[in-house]
């Protein structure tokens, strides 16, 4: 690989073996290096293989405008998130987190705070991602002597959620709002308050995350049409109260999102709700 542009002391643009432009990051990777110099591969810590020119322009702008210590903290946050969530995250998350932290630090130094009105929902629906956000804020506050609030941890959690979603859909805000809408329909139909620390409720929230993502991307369940009619009748007859709630959710999504819930999905939702109803009554 050879260098075609030096972004800063720790980041360069290079050509790989396939003659593709990639961005490489590593301690001292660009220090005193010149165009056409070979890449010191031992120093490479992170490779950004971007899909389009827009992403490349964003990365170049990131490295040229944001201090290197903020970029390194952002990379540390992404690495930590991948480890904690045991999943890959898109490189766009690195861009979003670095840009957000840079702005948050600047706001803090001007004594400006932005309220995160989704924080309560983020705590309910994305607790693991919020813990990562809180870790990021702790690192930033210690390293940069700032006092970033929990609201900022919530914003970082949304960026992490965006990065872990299906590549065809990357709006965690809409996902959060849809989950809340579905829970509101369920709550007012059943006329109960959820025990949000209950294991059955937490499992249902996990299911709702994936289900809501499919609704927003107009996808069907991976095992669509696998449920037999006999099983559908058995479940709906055995859990009539839960199935009535499922039908309300179906009606809501058809009216508001033009989404038709399959029998498969109705069975899964009904079973989850039946467990929650049973636990609430006992």
CATH of the domain at 42: 2.30.24.10
Residue 203 bridge partners (DSSP)? none
Q: What is the pLDDT of residue 201?
A: 85
User: 204 and 149 in one domain?
Assistant: no
**CATH code of 114's domain:** 1.10.1790.10
Query: What's the mean pLDDT in 194-207?
Result: 80
Cβ–Cβ < 8 Å for 3, 35: yes
Residues spanned by the domain of 90: 68-164
Last residue in a domain, options 164, 183, 211: 164
* Distance, CA of 226 to CA of 129 (rounded, Å): 32
> Measured at the alpha carbon of residue 90, what is the angle toward residues 214 and 175, in degrees to the nearest 5?
30
The answer to whether residues 201 and 274 belong to one domain is yes
Domain count, the chain: 3
Per-residue pLDDT reduced to its tens digit, 80-115: 998 998 887 776 778 888 888 998 998 899 888 788
- Looking at the structure, tell me whether residues 113 and 136 fall in a common domain: yes
Q: 220 φ, ψ to 5°?
A: -100, 170
The answer to whether position 59 is within a domain reads no
Q: Which of 119, 144, 164 is the last residue of a domain?
A: 164
131 inside domain: yes
- Count of alpha carbons within 13 angstroms of residue 218, beta-carbon side: 3
How crowded is residue 18: how many other Cβ atoms within 10 Å of its Cβ? 7
Q: What is the pLDDT of residues 219-247, one digit of tens each?
A: 665 544 555 677 788 888 999 999 999 99
Does residue 60 belong to any structural domain of this protein?
no
The secondary structure of 212-272, three-state, reads: HHHHHCCCCCCCCCCCCHHHHHHHHHHCHHHHHHHHHHHHHHHHHHCCCCCHHHHHHHHHH
Torsion of CA 160, 161, 167, 173, to 10 degrees: -120
């Amino acid at each position: 690989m050879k260098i075609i542009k030096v972004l800063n002391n720790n980041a360069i643009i290079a050509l790989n073996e396939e003659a593709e432009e990639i961005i490489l990051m590593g301690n001292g990777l660009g220090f005193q290096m010149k165009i056409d110099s070979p890449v010191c591969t031992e120093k490479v810590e992170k490779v950004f293989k971007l899909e389009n020119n827009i992403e490349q322009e964003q990365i170049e702008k990131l490295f040229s405008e944001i201090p290197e210590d903020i970029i390194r903290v952002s990379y540390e946050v992404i690495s930590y998130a991948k480890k904690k969530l045991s999943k890959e995250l898109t490189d766009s998350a690195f861009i979003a987190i670095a840009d957000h932290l840079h702005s948050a630090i600047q706001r803090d130094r001007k004594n400006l705070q932005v309220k995160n009105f989704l924080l309560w929902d983020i705590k309910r629906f994305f607790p693991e991602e919020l813990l990562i956000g809180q870790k990021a804020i702790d690192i930033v506050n210690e390293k940069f002597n700032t006092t970033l609030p929990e609201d900022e941890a919530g914003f970082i959690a949304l960026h992490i959620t965006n990065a872990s979603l299906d590549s065809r859909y990357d709006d965690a805000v809409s996902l959060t709002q849809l989950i809340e809408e579905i829970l509101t329909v369920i709550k007012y139909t059943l006329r109960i308050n959820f025990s949000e620390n209950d294991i059955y409720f937490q499992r249902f929230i996990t299911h709702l995350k994936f289900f809501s993502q499919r609704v927003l991307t107009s996808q069907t369940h991976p095992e669509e049409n696998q449920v037999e009619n006999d099983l559908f009748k058995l479940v709906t007859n055995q859990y009539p109260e839960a199935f009535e709630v499922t039908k309300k959710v179906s009606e809501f999504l058809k009216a508001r999102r033009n989404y038709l819930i399959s029998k498969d999905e109705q069975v899964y939702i009904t079973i989850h709700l039946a467990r929650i109803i049973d636990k609430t009554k006992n």
